[in-house]
Amino acid sequence: MRRLSSRALASLYDESKERMQPSDRQDWLNLRLAKQIHFAYRHAPAVRIALDRAGVPPRHLKCIKDLERLPVTTKDDLLKLQRADPPFGGLLAVPLNSLNRIYVSPGPMFDAFGNERVRATLRSFVRRGLPKRGDIVMVSTAYHMVPAGLLVTDALDALGCTVIPAGTGQTELQVRILHDLKATAIFSFPSFVMTILQKAEEMGYDIRRDFNLRYVSGGGEKHIQLLRKIFEQKYGLVVNDSYGTADLGPVAYDCGLGTGYHYEDQEAIIEIVDPQTGKQAKPMEVGEIVVTLLSRTYPLVRFGTGDLASYTVDQCGCGRTAPRITRIMGMIGEHIRVKGMFVHMRELDEAFSGLPEVLRYQLLLKLDGHRDRIELKAETRATANRGILSELITRRCQEVFKLKIDEIEFLPSGTLAADCKKVIDTRWT
Ligand SMILES: [Zn+2]
What SS3 class is residue 294? coil
Q: For 103, left (φ over 0), alpha (ψ -120 to 50), or beta? A: beta
Centre of ligand 1 to C-alpha 68, Å, is 27
Centre of ligand 1 to C-alpha 253, Å, is 9
**Residue 349 CA, distance from chain mean position:** 23
Residue 429 confidence (pLDDT)? 62
Say what percent of the chain tops pLDDT 90.
59
Centre of ligand 1 to C-alpha 399, Å, is 41
Distance CA(373)–CA(100), nearest Å, equals 35
Residue 344 confidence (pLDDT)? 73
pLDDT band with cut points at 50, 70 and 90 for residue 222? low
Lowest mean pLDDT among 148-157, 332-341, 367-376: 332-341
Q: How many CB atoms lie within 10 A of CB 19?
A: 14
pLDDT band with cut points at 50, 70 and 90 for residue 219? low
Centre of ligand 1 to C-alpha 321, Å, is 8
Centre of ligand 1 to C-alpha 279, Å, is 26
What are the DSSP E strand ranges found in 49-140? 101-105, 109-113, 136-139
The mean pLDDT of 158-172, rounded to a whole number, is 95
Centre of ligand 1 to C-alpha 118, Å, is 22
Do residues 260 and 251 lie in contact, with contact meaning Cβ atoms separated by under 8 Å? Answer: no
Residue 93 confidence (pLDDT)? 97
332-335 CB contacts, 8 Å cutoff, 24+ apart:
332/275, 332/288, 332/306, 332/307, 332/308, 333/74, 333/75, 333/76, 333/275, 333/304, 333/306, 334/74, 334/75, 334/76, 334/306, 335/75, 335/306
CB-proximal residues (5 Å) to ion ligand 1? 255, 316, 318, 320
Half-sphere exposure of 199 (CA within 13 A, CB side): 17
Distance CA(196)–CA(174), nearest Å, equals 7
Distance CA(143)–CA(154), nearest Å, equals 12
Centre of ligand 1 to C-alpha 311, Å, is 13
Distance CA(147)–CA(107), nearest Å, equals 14
Centre of ligand 1 to C-alpha 312, Å, is 11
Centre of ligand 1 to C-alpha 74, Å, is 29
DSSP structural state of residue 233: I
407: burial class by Cβ within 10 Å (0-12, 13-18, 19+)?
exposed
Centre of ligand 1 to C-alpha 323, Å, is 9
Centre of ligand 1 to C-alpha 127, Å, is 11
pLDDT band with cut points at 50, 70 and 90 for residue 275? confident
Taking every pair of Cα atoms in the chain, the longest distance, rounded to a whole number of angstroms, is 70
Reference 301, options 8, 52, 25; nearest CA is 52
Across the strands, what pairs with 138? 164, 186
What are the DSSP E strand ranges found in 345-401? 358-368, 371-380
Burial 152-186 (b: 16+ CB within 10 A, else e): bbbbbbbbbbbbbebbbeebeebbebbbeeebbbb
Q: How many helices (H) and strands (E) does the chain have?
A: 13, 19
The mean pLDDT of 282-306, rounded to a whole number, is 94
Half-sphere exposure of 308 (CA within 13 A, CB side): 15
Mean pLDDT of the chain: 90
Centre of ligand 1 to C-alpha 320, Å, is 6
Distance CA(359)–CA(378), nearest Å, equals 7
Residues 6+ apart with CB under 8 A from 319: 18, 19
Centre of ligand 1 to C-alpha 182, Å, is 31
Across the strands, what pairs with 287? 309
pLDDT band with cut points at 50, 70 and 90 for residue 156? very high
pLDDT in tens, 134-155: 999 999 999 999 888 999 999 9
Q: How many CB atoms lie within 10 A of CB 84?
A: 10
Centre of ligand 1 to C-alpha 261, Å, is 8
Centre of ligand 1 to C-alpha 262, Å, is 7
Do residues 68 and 279 lie in contact, with contact meaning Cβ atoms separated by under 8 Å? Answer: yes
Centre of ligand 1 to C-alpha 87, Å, is 38
Residue 342 confidence (pLDDT)? 66
Residue 370 confidence (pLDDT)? 78
The mean pLDDT of 95-121, rounded to a whole number, is 91
Half-sphere exposure of 54 (CA within 13 A, CB side): 19
Distance CA(347)–CA(335), nearest Å, equals 10
**Residue 378 CA, distance from chain mean position:** 29
Residue 428 confidence (pLDDT)? 64
Would you call the peptide bond into 131 cis, given omega within 30 degrees of 0 as the criterion? Answer: yes
Residue 341 has pLDDT above 80, yes or no: no
Q: What is the pTM of this model?
A: 0.80
